[in-house]
Structure 1
Amino acid sequence: MSQNPGPQPRLDARGAVDLSALGRPATPPPGTPGGLPTPGPYVVDVDTEGFAAMVQSSTEHPVVVLLWASWSETSINLARDLGTLADEYAGRLLLARIDSEANPQIAQAFQSQSVPAVLAVLAGQPLPLFQGAPQLDQVRGVLDQVLEAAAANGVTGTVAPRDVAPEAVAEPEEPPLPPLHQAAYDAIEADDLPAAAAAYEQALRENPRDDMARAGLAQVGLLTRTRDADLAQVRKAAADAPHDVDAQLAVADVDVLGGQVEDAFARLVDTVRVTAGPERERVRVRLVELFEVVGNDDPRVAAARRALASALY
C-alpha cells in the first residue's frame, strides 16, 4: 500500500506524548542549545527564498557566506568567530549563515562538499575562501583580503545594521486544563498510562460529549497496546497470518504510531470486508479509535470513514 505524506497523529493533552517523532529533528533556533549564536546587527540567516536577495546585495557590499550544519560543533564555533568579526568590521561586510542541510540546493550551487565552508560573494560572483575552522586571526586576515578584492571591484557599500533587539511579543497564556485532563496529563508525564486512562474514562462518564477526553483515551490506548511491541515481529505475524484479526490490529496500531496512517486504515477496512460478527465489530471499533487518535478533522479520516461505510454496507 502506498500513501502520500500528511499530517501526523496529534495528542490534545498539550503534547504530553509525541506520536509523530519522525525524521531528522528540526534545526534548533539561533540562541538555543544546539543552534547558532543569536545573529548580530551584520549577520543574517539565509534560506532558499532569501538567496537571490543576498546575491543581489553583494553588488553593494561584500557578503561572506558560512555553510553550516547543526550536527557540526565546528560550524557552531566558526559561526561565533565570524559573528565577532562581522561586528568588528561594523558593516563593511555582511555575514550570511546558510544551513546546508535545510538548503541543499544552495550547498550544491556553491559546490560545497563539507561543512563548515566559507566563501565570499562579490558582485554576484562566488569566491571560495576556506573549509574547516582556522584560528580567529587567520580568518581576520582572509576577510581583509576579501575587503581588498571588493574595493578593487568597486564594491564598497556598507551594511545597514539590523535591529537585533526587537520588542518581545508576549505569548498568550494557555488556559488551565480541566482537573481530570490535568490528572491524565500528569499521569502520562509519570509514565502511568493506566492512571491516565482512568482519568479520561472518568471525564467521559461525567461528560459523554468530552471529545478531548475521548481522543486522549484513544491515544493512551494506542500507547498502551504498542508499548512493548517488537515492530519486526508484529509485521512478520501480520504477513504470516493475513486472516488473523489480532495480527492485523497490532500492525495497524504500529503503523499509526509510525505515521503510516493510510496503510493502517486501508488494512483495517480490508479486514472488515473479510470478517463477520464479533470479529468484524472488533475491527470496526479499533478503526474508530484510531480515527480519534489521528483526529476527525484529518482528510485521511474522512476518506477512511467512507471506505468503512462501503465495507460495512
Structure 2
Amino acid sequence: MSQDTPYIFDATTLTFDQLVIQNSYLKPVLVDFWAEWCAPCKVLMPLLKQIAEDYQGELLLAKVDCDAEQDIVARFGIRSLPTVVLFKDGQPVDGFTGAQPESAIRALLEPHVQMPPPAAADPLVQAQELFAEGRIADAEAVLKALLGEDNSNAAALILYARCLAERGELLEAQTVLDAVKGDEHKAALAGARAQLTFLREAANLPDVADLKTRLAKDPQDDEAAHQLAIQQLSRQQYEAALEGLLRLFIRNRSYAEGLAHKTLLQVFDLLGNDHPLVTTYRRKLFAALY
C-alpha cells in the first residue's frame, strides 16, 4: 500500500474492508474511484487531497485504481469516472460523479465531517501583536503565562521588560533585561534598553508644552529640540522624534558630542531594522552624512 499521509492512502480489493469499511466507524472515509486514463480524475485528485489535508485527520481519503481493482468496481456498481463516495459507519452516505468545484465538495462533506479547531496561536507572536497594538496589559498577561512555563525564554523576557517599562516599572524592567542570557536576541535587547533609556531620560525633562514654547521662541535651541525628541520617544511618537532628531543632526551634528546621531541609532535599535520608519530615516541619515 502506497501512502501519501496517514489519512490519504490507496485501497485495494484486499484492504478495502479494513481501510474503508472498518475505518469509517471511526472517521468518515471519502473514496475516490479513478483511473490513469481519466483526465477529470487527474484534475479532481489534487483537490480531494487538499481538502483531506485541511481536515487534519478528521476525514480519510482512500484512492481506488479502477483498472487494477475490478472487483471493487463491480461490488459498488461504479459506471463512470471519477466517482467519489463518502462512507460513514460502514455505509455509503453521499457522493458524486464527475469533476466538481471545491465549494460543492466541501458543502457535501460539511454535515458529515467536523472541521478541526484552528491551531492555537503562538503565545509569543500573540503578545508581540498585542504590544504593537498598544494593549500592554493584555500582552503582559500572555507573557506571564508563557514565562510561567519557561522563564528562560529570552524573547518573552525582553518583551515582558518592555511591557513593564511602558507601565513605568523601570527598575523591574531593568532587572528582567539583566536576566537575559546569550546573544541570540541582541537586536531586541538593544531596542528594549534604548526604550528604558528614553523613558528614564524623559522622566527628568521639562514637559512637552514647555519645550515646544522654547522652540517657538528659538528654533535653534538644540537642547530643547533633543529633549522634545526624547519626550516624543517616551510616548511612542516615533516619526515626529526621528524628524526632529534628523533636523538637529543636519543643523548641528556636533551638538553634545554627536548626541543627535547617537539617539537616532538608538531609535533604530528600538524599532528594529524591518520597521518602515527605520528604512526611511536610515536613508535620510545616510544622505545627510554623505
Q: Shorter-chain-normalised TM-score: which range?
A: 0.3 to 0.5
Given the two structures, how large is their TM-score scaled by the length of structure 1? Answer: 0.39
Q: Which structure's CA Rg is the greater one?
A: 2
Bigger relative CO (Cα 8 Å, ≥ 6 apart): 1
**TM-score, normalised via structure 2 length:** 0.41
Structure whose residues are more often helix by fraction: 2
